[in-house]
Amino acid sequence: MTPGINRAKTWVLLAAMMGLFLAVGALLGGRAGMTIALVMGLGFNFAMYWWSGSIAVRSTRSREVGEADYPQLYRIVRELTQANDMPMPGVYVSEMQQPNAFATGRNPQNAKVAVTQGILQLLDERELRGVLAHELSHVANRDILVGSIAAAIGTSISYLAWMALWFGGDDEGGNPIVMLAAWLLAPIAAGLIQMAVSRSREFQADESGAFLSSDPQALASALQKLEQTSRRVPPPHSLQPGEAHMFIVNPLSALKGRGLTSLFSTHPPTEERVARLMAMQDEVYRRQGPIGN
Protein backbone atom coordinates (compact mmCIF):
# COMPACT_ATOMS: atom_id res chain seq x y z
CA MET A 1 0.00 0.00 0.00
CA THR A 2 1.49 3.36 -1.00
CA PRO A 3 1.64 6.23 1.50
CA GLY A 4 -1.01 8.16 -0.45
CA ILE A 5 -3.46 5.26 -0.34
CA ASN A 6 -2.68 4.69 3.32
CA ARG A 7 -3.47 8.33 4.14
CA ALA A 8 -6.72 8.21 2.14
CA LYS A 9 -7.81 5.03 3.91
CA THR A 10 -6.96 6.63 7.23
CA TRP A 11 -9.15 9.67 6.63
CA VAL A 12 -12.03 7.54 5.36
CA LEU A 13 -11.96 5.46 8.56
CA LEU A 14 -11.69 8.52 10.77
CA ALA A 15 -14.54 10.18 8.89
CA ALA A 16 -16.63 7.05 9.42
CA MET A 17 -15.93 7.16 13.15
CA MET A 18 -16.75 10.86 13.38
CA GLY A 19 -19.93 10.28 11.38
CA LEU A 20 -20.92 7.55 13.82
CA PHE A 21 -20.09 9.91 16.67
CA LEU A 22 -22.36 12.64 15.32
CA ALA A 23 -25.13 10.17 14.48
CA VAL A 24 -25.14 8.82 18.02
CA GLY A 25 -25.22 12.34 19.41
CA ALA A 26 -28.17 13.26 17.19
CA LEU A 27 -30.07 10.05 17.97
CA LEU A 28 -29.62 10.23 21.73
CA GLY A 29 -29.84 13.98 22.18
CA GLY A 30 -31.20 15.60 19.03
CA ARG A 31 -29.45 18.75 17.79
CA ALA A 32 -28.13 19.48 21.26
CA GLY A 33 -26.69 15.99 21.51
CA MET A 34 -25.05 16.30 18.11
CA THR A 35 -23.51 19.62 19.13
CA ILE A 36 -22.19 18.12 22.37
CA ALA A 37 -20.79 15.17 20.41
CA LEU A 38 -19.03 17.48 17.96
CA VAL A 39 -17.49 19.58 20.74
CA MET A 40 -16.37 16.46 22.61
CA GLY A 41 -14.89 14.94 19.48
CA LEU A 42 -12.97 18.07 18.55
CA GLY A 43 -11.74 18.45 22.11
CA PHE A 44 -10.51 14.87 22.34
CA ASN A 45 -8.86 15.09 18.92
CA PHE A 46 -7.07 18.33 19.80
CA ALA A 47 -5.81 16.92 23.10
CA MET A 48 -4.59 13.69 21.55
CA TYR A 49 -2.92 15.55 18.66
CA TRP A 50 -0.77 17.60 20.99
CA TRP A 51 -0.20 15.35 23.98
CA SER A 52 -0.44 11.71 22.89
CA GLY A 53 3.35 11.35 22.82
CA SER A 54 3.89 12.70 26.32
CA ILE A 55 1.00 10.64 27.71
CA ALA A 56 2.44 7.43 26.28
CA VAL A 57 5.92 8.07 27.65
CA ARG A 58 4.61 8.86 31.14
CA SER A 59 2.22 5.91 31.30
CA THR A 60 5.01 3.44 30.44
CA ARG A 61 7.53 5.18 32.71
CA SER A 62 9.99 5.57 29.87
CA ARG A 63 13.02 7.84 30.13
CA GLU A 64 14.95 9.49 27.34
CA VAL A 65 18.43 8.10 26.81
CA GLY A 66 21.50 9.27 24.92
CA GLU A 67 23.99 7.54 22.69
CA ALA A 68 26.44 7.10 25.56
CA ASP A 69 23.80 5.18 27.52
CA TYR A 70 22.70 2.76 24.78
CA PRO A 71 25.13 3.01 21.84
CA GLN A 72 23.78 0.01 19.89
CA LEU A 73 20.17 1.11 20.22
CA TYR A 74 21.01 4.68 19.26
CA ARG A 75 23.08 3.57 16.26
CA ILE A 76 20.31 1.38 14.87
CA VAL A 77 17.71 4.14 15.21
CA ARG A 78 20.03 6.66 13.55
CA GLU A 79 20.83 4.35 10.62
CA LEU A 80 17.17 3.57 10.00
CA THR A 81 16.02 7.18 10.20
CA GLN A 82 18.75 8.23 7.77
CA ALA A 83 17.76 5.43 5.40
CA ASN A 84 14.15 6.62 5.55
CA ASP A 85 15.07 10.33 5.29
CA MET A 86 13.51 11.09 8.69
CA PRO A 87 14.58 13.34 11.57
CA MET A 88 16.16 11.57 14.52
CA PRO A 89 13.41 10.83 17.07
CA GLY A 90 13.79 10.90 20.81
CA VAL A 91 15.01 7.51 22.03
CA TYR A 92 13.45 6.15 25.22
CA VAL A 93 13.86 3.07 27.38
CA SER A 94 11.16 1.74 29.67
CA GLU A 95 11.93 -0.29 32.79
CA MET A 96 9.20 -2.78 31.78
CA GLN A 97 10.54 -6.33 31.87
CA GLN A 98 7.97 -7.50 29.35
CA PRO A 99 9.68 -7.42 25.92
CA ASN A 100 7.96 -4.80 23.78
CA ALA A 101 8.43 -1.55 21.87
CA PHE A 102 6.35 1.39 20.72
CA ALA A 103 6.60 4.68 18.86
CA THR A 104 4.60 7.81 19.48
CA GLY A 105 4.33 11.44 18.44
CA ARG A 106 2.07 13.38 16.10
CA ASN A 107 4.60 13.57 13.22
CA PRO A 108 8.23 12.68 12.40
CA GLN A 109 9.42 16.02 13.80
CA ASN A 110 7.90 15.23 17.21
CA ALA A 111 8.44 11.48 17.35
CA LYS A 112 9.61 9.24 20.16
CA VAL A 113 10.61 5.59 19.89
CA ALA A 114 10.76 3.46 23.01
CA VAL A 115 11.89 -0.05 23.86
CA THR A 116 11.62 -1.96 27.10
CA GLN A 117 14.45 -3.47 29.09
CA GLY A 118 12.89 -6.84 28.36
CA ILE A 119 13.22 -6.53 24.59
CA LEU A 120 16.83 -5.39 24.82
CA GLN A 121 17.63 -8.56 26.76
CA LEU A 122 15.64 -10.88 24.47
CA LEU A 123 16.46 -9.93 20.86
CA ASP A 124 19.67 -10.02 18.88
CA GLU A 125 20.76 -7.01 16.83
CA ARG A 126 19.08 -8.10 13.59
CA GLU A 127 15.77 -8.71 15.33
CA LEU A 128 15.98 -5.44 17.24
CA ARG A 129 16.66 -3.65 13.97
CA GLY A 130 13.54 -5.22 12.46
CA VAL A 131 11.42 -4.12 15.42
CA LEU A 132 12.76 -0.57 15.29
CA ALA A 133 12.15 -0.41 11.53
CA HIS A 134 8.54 -1.40 12.23
CA GLU A 135 8.16 1.32 14.86
CA LEU A 136 9.78 4.02 12.72
CA SER A 137 7.41 3.04 9.91
CA HIS A 138 4.53 3.86 12.25
CA VAL A 139 6.06 7.32 12.60
CA ALA A 140 6.55 7.79 8.86
CA ASN A 141 2.96 6.67 8.14
CA ARG A 142 1.50 8.99 10.84
CA ASP A 143 0.00 5.88 12.43
CA ILE A 144 0.52 7.07 15.99
CA LEU A 145 -1.66 10.12 15.47
CA VAL A 146 -4.25 8.06 13.61
CA GLY A 147 -4.49 5.50 16.40
CA SER A 148 -4.71 8.18 19.07
CA ILE A 149 -7.54 9.98 17.30
CA ALA A 150 -9.42 6.74 16.63
CA ALA A 151 -9.10 5.80 20.30
CA ALA A 152 -10.26 9.24 21.39
CA ILE A 153 -13.35 9.14 19.17
CA GLY A 154 -14.19 5.60 20.27
CA THR A 155 -13.90 6.59 23.93
CA SER A 156 -16.03 9.68 23.34
CA ILE A 157 -18.81 7.60 21.77
CA SER A 158 -18.85 5.34 24.83
CA TYR A 159 -19.02 8.32 27.18
CA LEU A 160 -21.75 9.97 25.11
CA ALA A 161 -23.87 6.81 25.24
CA TRP A 162 -23.28 6.54 28.99
CA MET A 163 -24.33 10.17 29.51
CA ALA A 164 -27.49 9.62 27.50
CA LEU A 165 -28.39 6.60 29.63
CA TRP A 166 -28.03 8.45 32.93
CA PHE A 167 -29.07 11.99 32.01
CA GLY A 168 -31.71 11.37 29.39
CA GLY A 169 -31.89 11.91 25.66
CA ASP A 170 -33.81 14.31 23.46
CA ASP A 171 -36.28 16.47 25.38
CA GLU A 172 -38.82 15.91 22.64
CA GLY A 173 -38.81 12.20 23.41
CA GLY A 174 -37.78 9.29 21.30
CA ASN A 175 -38.24 5.61 20.83
CA PRO A 176 -36.72 4.04 23.99
CA ILE A 177 -35.94 0.78 22.16
CA VAL A 178 -34.00 2.64 19.48
CA MET A 179 -32.17 4.67 22.12
CA LEU A 180 -31.32 1.52 24.07
CA ALA A 181 -30.06 -0.17 20.92
CA ALA A 182 -27.91 2.87 20.12
CA TRP A 183 -26.55 2.90 23.65
CA LEU A 184 -25.59 -0.76 23.38
CA LEU A 185 -24.45 -0.98 19.77
CA ALA A 186 -22.74 2.36 19.08
CA PRO A 187 -19.74 1.72 21.35
CA ILE A 188 -19.40 -1.77 19.87
CA ALA A 189 -19.44 -0.39 16.32
CA ALA A 190 -16.91 2.28 17.26
CA GLY A 191 -14.70 -0.33 18.88
CA LEU A 192 -14.83 -2.58 15.82
CA ILE A 193 -13.76 0.29 13.56
CA GLN A 194 -11.02 1.28 15.99
CA MET A 195 -9.67 -2.27 16.17
CA ALA A 196 -9.78 -2.59 12.37
CA VAL A 197 -7.77 0.62 12.07
CA SER A 198 -5.22 -0.70 14.56
CA ARG A 199 -4.79 -4.08 12.84
CA SER A 200 -4.47 -2.43 9.44
CA ARG A 201 -1.76 -0.14 10.79
CA GLU A 202 0.18 -3.08 12.19
CA PHE A 203 0.16 -4.92 8.85
CA GLN A 204 1.25 -1.75 7.08
CA ALA A 205 4.07 -1.10 9.55
CA ASP A 206 5.24 -4.70 9.19
CA GLU A 207 5.42 -4.27 5.43
CA SER A 208 7.06 -0.85 5.52
CA GLY A 209 9.47 -1.98 8.23
CA ALA A 210 10.48 -5.05 6.22
CA PHE A 211 11.45 -2.85 3.28
CA LEU A 212 13.19 -0.31 5.53
CA SER A 213 15.36 -2.95 7.22
CA SER A 214 15.63 -5.14 4.08
CA ASP A 215 15.19 -8.07 6.45
CA PRO A 216 11.61 -9.36 6.84
CA GLN A 217 12.87 -12.63 8.29
CA ALA A 218 14.43 -10.80 11.26
CA LEU A 219 11.15 -9.01 12.06
CA ALA A 220 9.25 -12.30 11.75
CA SER A 221 11.69 -13.96 14.17
CA ALA A 222 11.36 -11.04 16.60
CA LEU A 223 7.55 -11.22 16.53
CA GLN A 224 7.62 -14.91 17.36
CA LYS A 225 9.96 -14.36 20.31
CA LEU A 226 7.92 -11.40 21.56
CA GLU A 227 4.65 -13.31 21.31
CA GLN A 228 5.97 -16.28 23.25
CA THR A 229 7.75 -14.30 25.96
CA SER A 230 5.15 -11.57 26.50
CA ARG A 231 2.62 -14.22 27.51
CA ARG A 232 4.87 -15.30 30.36
CA VAL A 233 5.93 -11.84 31.58
CA PRO A 234 3.01 -9.65 32.74
CA PRO A 235 2.95 -5.91 31.99
CA PRO A 236 3.03 -3.37 34.81
CA HIS A 237 -0.26 -2.65 36.57
CA SER A 238 -0.07 0.97 35.40
CA LEU A 239 -0.56 -0.05 31.77
CA GLN A 240 -4.15 0.57 30.64
CA PRO A 241 -6.09 -1.39 27.97
CA GLY A 242 -6.43 1.77 25.88
CA GLU A 243 -2.65 1.89 25.50
CA ALA A 244 -2.23 -1.66 24.15
CA HIS A 245 -2.53 -0.57 20.52
CA MET A 246 0.75 1.37 20.75
CA PHE A 247 2.96 -1.70 21.17
CA ILE A 248 4.37 -4.00 18.51
CA VAL A 249 2.66 -6.96 20.22
CA ASN A 250 -0.35 -6.69 22.51
CA PRO A 251 1.03 -6.48 26.07
CA LEU A 252 -2.32 -7.43 27.64
CA SER A 253 -3.73 -10.20 25.51
CA ALA A 254 -3.55 -13.77 26.82
CA LEU A 255 -5.60 -15.16 23.91
CA LYS A 256 -4.68 -15.51 20.29
CA GLY A 257 -6.86 -13.50 17.96
CA ARG A 258 -8.94 -16.10 16.20
CA GLY A 259 -12.52 -16.30 15.04
CA LEU A 260 -14.82 -13.63 16.40
CA THR A 261 -12.30 -12.57 19.06
CA SER A 262 -9.98 -11.32 16.31
CA LEU A 263 -12.50 -8.58 15.49
CA PHE A 264 -11.88 -7.06 18.93
CA SER A 265 -8.08 -7.42 18.87
CA THR A 266 -5.75 -4.43 18.54
CA HIS A 267 -3.20 -6.61 16.74
CA PRO A 268 -3.47 -9.20 13.97
CA PRO A 269 -2.59 -12.79 14.93
CA THR A 270 1.18 -13.11 15.14
CA GLU A 271 1.21 -16.22 12.96
CA GLU A 272 -0.54 -14.26 10.19
CA ARG A 273 1.95 -11.39 10.50
CA VAL A 274 4.85 -13.84 10.35
CA ALA A 275 3.39 -15.61 7.30
CA ARG A 276 2.99 -12.31 5.46
CA LEU A 277 6.54 -11.28 6.28
CA MET A 278 8.00 -14.57 5.12
CA ALA A 279 6.02 -14.32 1.89
CA MET A 280 7.56 -10.87 1.33
CA GLN A 281 11.13 -12.10 1.66
CA ASP A 282 11.80 -12.78 -2.02
CA GLU A 283 10.25 -9.46 -3.07
CA VAL A 284 12.26 -7.44 -0.55
CA TYR A 285 15.51 -9.15 -1.48
CA ARG A 286 14.78 -8.73 -5.19
CA ARG A 287 14.17 -4.99 -4.80
CA GLN A 288 16.86 -4.14 -2.27
CA GLY A 289 19.13 -7.11 -1.82
CA PRO A 290 19.73 -8.97 1.44
CA ILE A 291 20.72 -7.09 4.56
CA GLY A 292 24.29 -5.88 4.50
CA ASN A 293 24.34 -5.33 0.70
- Residues tagged active-site: 135
Which of 86, 80, 116 is CA-nearest to residue 226?
Answer: 116
Q: CB neighbours (10 Å) of residue 167? A: 9
Contact status, residue 133 vs residue 212, Cβ threshold 8 Å? yes
Q: CB neighbours (10 Å) of residue 62? A: 23
Q: How far apart are the first and last CA of the chain?
A: 25
DSSP lists the bridge partners of residue 53 as none
List CB contacts of 144: < 8 A, sequence separation 6 or more: 52, 53, 103, 104, 105, 106, 111, 138, 246
**Letter string b/e over residues 193-211, b meaning 16 or more CB atoms within 10 A of that residue's CB:** bbbebbbbbbbbbbbbbbb
Contact status, residue 96 vs residue 116, Cβ threshold 8 Å? yes
Three-state SS at 81: helix
Q: CB neighbours (10 Å) of residue 6? A: 18
H-helix segments, the chain:
3-59, 71-83, 117-122, 125-140, 143-167, 176-213, 216-230, 270-288
Backbone dihedral angles phi then psi of residue 292, each to the nearest 5 degrees: 95, -10
DSSP lists the bridge partners of residue 113 as 91, 103
Contact status, residue 72 vs residue 124, Cβ threshold 8 Å? no
